[in-house]
A and B are shown apart, each in its own frame.
Chain A
Amino acid sequence: MAGAAVLGRLGPLRWRLAEVVEVVPETPSAATIVLDVPDWPGHRAGQHADVRLTAEDGYQAQRSYSIASAPEDPRLALTVERLENGEVSPFLVDELRAGDRIELRGPIGGYFVWEANGGPLRLLAGGSGVVPLMAMLRHREATRSEAPATLLYSARSLGEVLYRDELERLGAAGAGLRVSYTLTRERPPGWSGYDRRIDGDMLGEVFGPVDPAATAFVCGPTSFVEAAADALVALGHDPARVKTERFGPTGG
């Protein structure tokens, strides 16, 4: 019932018990957790959810994870990167199994979101900062949006790149999506992409002239996000159209 869905979306945040449908390894250090969430009110591309774990002695730990799935996907997917010494992510990536249940609340966020009619996309990802941007690209594909999109994805090595096969498919000729990589630490032999931290020259080459209708979404570690956002503004992008989301150690 549409009315119920609307009420659900506007209702206060509450914890729901979500059931793990499957855990899909993405890289040696990251996995996608596919969940069945009862009464999930739906989400917008770019939003996140909070996950809460409770130990037998009652100790609780809570973390935020970006939603990777498109709003059109009936199941909710979170991609989680394992942080060494993390309290929550090693459990989610290594221990969680289909049929397990975890507490989850969301969707959360109203700023770092993109709607399919929201104009051209300039996406900048640092490491697992690609996750909410992937939700935008999946939303773009699910709605057959013709908004041109460009993704610049900075990772330490090719082995750490998330969703590589899917990005290749989404970026196939004629799809209106261009994907560029920069690998900052380790390159495979014959690598022809970028091999350094992002800078103004790179952003100028990848994104071309400033398009006043475009919105840039930048997500990654704080140092990456601030360098990228500053460089975009220096190139002439309207600061109000450069949206940022910083990941931090609390992601553990």
Chain B
Amino acid sequence: MDADDLRLDGNSLGGLLGELFGREMTAALGTCASCGAVGEVATLVVYAHAPGTVGRCRACGAVLLRVVRAERRMWVDLRGLRSLQLEPLGEEP
């Protein structure tokens, strides 16, 4: 296994974000607050083997989201995301 293989992608966030938002989120379009790149959450670079889960912009590497679960709490930091665009429930493809 290459060290590269520790890097996952945003598909792996589906369960976690489903828990947080109560809906499918990996097809949502996120805009990076640092560089303005727009891409599906599924395309983020994800590191899940750290104490928390970190999602980075595939274009510039900036941290877009961090989720830490500890002591029966979840901490969610989305400040690296300028916006999320998604279909209203019931209007997904």
Q: Which residues of A contact B (CB under 8 A)?
A: 10, 12-13, 48, 50, 62, 64, 105-106, 108-112, 115, 221-223, 225-226, 243-250
Is the CB–CB distance between A109 and B23 below 8 Å?
Answer: no
Among residues of B, the one whose C-beta sits closest to the C-beta of A7 is B90
Q: How far is the CA of A249 from the CA of B48 in the complex (A)?
A: 10
Among residues of A, the one whose C-beta sits closest to the C-beta of B49 is A250
Task: Identify B9's interface contact among A12, A62, A115, A245, CB under 8 A.
Answer: A245
Is the CB–CB distance between A222 and B12 below 8 Å?
Answer: no
Q: Which positions 31-60 of chain B face chain A at CB distance < 8 Å?
A: 40-43, 48-49
Q: How far is the CA of A62 from the CA of B16 in the complex (A)?
A: 11
Task: Identify B18's interface contact among A12, A62, A112, A250, CB under 8 A.
Answer: A12
- The residues of B that contact A223 with a CB separation of less than 8 Å are 2, 4-5
- The residues of A that contact B80 with a CB separation of less than 8 Å are none
Q: Which residues of B contact A (CB under 8 A)?
A: 1-2, 4-12, 14-15, 18-19, 22-27, 40-43, 48-49, 89-90, 92-93
- 19 CB < 8 A contacts A-B: A12-B19, A12-B23, A13-B15, A48-B11, A64-B15, A108-B18, A112-B26, A112-B42, A115-B93, A222-B4, A222-B5, A222-B6, A223-B4, A223-B5, A226-B4, A243-B42, A248-B7, A249-B49, A250-B8
- The residues of A that contact B7 with a CB separation of less than 8 Å are 222, 246, 248
Is the CB–CB distance between B6 and A249 below 8 Å?
Answer: yes
Among residues of B, the one whose C-beta sits closest to the C-beta of A62 is B15
Contact A248/B8 with A13-B18, A111-B26, A221-B2 known, Cβ cut-off 8 Å: yes
Q: How far is the CA of A83 from the CA of B9 in the complex (A)?
A: 20
Q: How far is the CA of A225 from the CA of B11 in the complex (A)?
A: 13
Is the CB–CB distance between A244 and B27 below 8 Å?
Answer: no
Most buried by A among B10, B24, B48: B24
- The residues of B that contact A109 with a CB separation of less than 8 Å are 11, 14, 24, 26, 42
Is the CB–CB distance between A110 and B8 below 8 Å?
Answer: no
Among residues of B, the one whose C-beta sits closest to the C-beta of A111 is B42
Task: Identify A248's interface contact among B5, B22, B41, B90, CB under 8 A.
Answer: B5
Q: How far is the CA of A246 from the CA of B10 in the complex (A)?
A: 9
- The residues of A that contact B14 with a CB separation of less than 8 Å are 48, 64, 108-110
Is the CB–CB distance between B5 and A221 below 8 Å?
Answer: yes
Of all A-B residue pairs in the complex, the 8 with the closest CB atoms, nearest first, are A111-B42, A110-B27, A108-B14, A12-B22, A13-B18, A110-B24, A248-B8, A50-B15
Among residues of B, the one whose C-beta sits closest to the C-beta of A105 is B15
- The residues of B that contact A250 with a CB separation of less than 8 Å are 8, 12, 48-49
Is the CB–CB distance between A10 and B89 below 8 Å?
Answer: yes
Q: How far is the CA of A106 from the CA of B24 in the complex (A)?
A: 10
Contact A246/B11 with A108-B18, A110-B26 known, Cβ cut-off 8 Å: yes
Contact A111/B40 with A222-B2, A222-B4, A244-B9 known, Cβ cut-off 8 Å: yes
- The residues of B that contact A246 with a CB separation of less than 8 Å are 5, 7-9, 11-12
